[in-house]
């Protein structure tokens, strides 16, 4: 049985990929679960309303996914059904 995704991660920035590789294995798994939610459930909603938020100001059009003190910053192309991961870092460094 094949599983179809609503969205596909088109690109992960090199800096985000580097940060992800340096994370402990348990945190990497948490980020993988976040990617799974973004692709297969919704990049706009989460059962916990504080997890996914649209960003404002100069980052308008970007979204934030929160995992503890880690933030995933991404954009969504609704027409192409793709997600582009712009940054993964701690709360103080990602913005």
pLDDT in tens, 35-72: 999 999 999 999 999 999 999 999 999 999 999 999 99
Question: Is the model's pLDDT at 6 over the cut of 70?
Answer: yes
3-state secondary structure the chain: CCCCCCCEEEEECHHHHHHHHHCCHHHHHHHHHHHHHHHHCCCCCCCCCCCEEECCHHHCCEEEEEECCEEEEEEEECCCCEEEEEEEEEHHHHC
Q: pLDDT-derived band of residue 1, with 50, 70 and 90 as boundaries?
A: very low
Q: Where does the pLDDT of residue 3 fall: very low under 50, low under 70, confident under 90, or very high at 90 and above?
A: low
In a domain, 3, yes or no: no
Looking at the domain assignment, is residue 2 inside a domain?
no
Residue 1 lies in a domain: no
Report residue 8 CA to chain centroid gap: 11
Structural domain count of the chain:
1
């Amino acid at each position: 049985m094949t599983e179809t995704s609503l969205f596909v991660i088109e690109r992960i920035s090199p800096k985000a990929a580097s940060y992800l590789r340096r994370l402990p294995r348990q945190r990497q798994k948490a980020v993988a679960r976040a990617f799974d939610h973004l692709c297969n459930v919704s990049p706009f909603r989460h059962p916990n309303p504080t997890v996914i938020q649209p960003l404002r100001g100069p980052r308008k059009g970007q979204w934030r996914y929160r995992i503890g003190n880690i933030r995933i910053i991404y954009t969504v192309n609704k027409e192409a059904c793709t997600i582009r991961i712009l940054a993964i870092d701690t709360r103080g460094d990602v913005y």
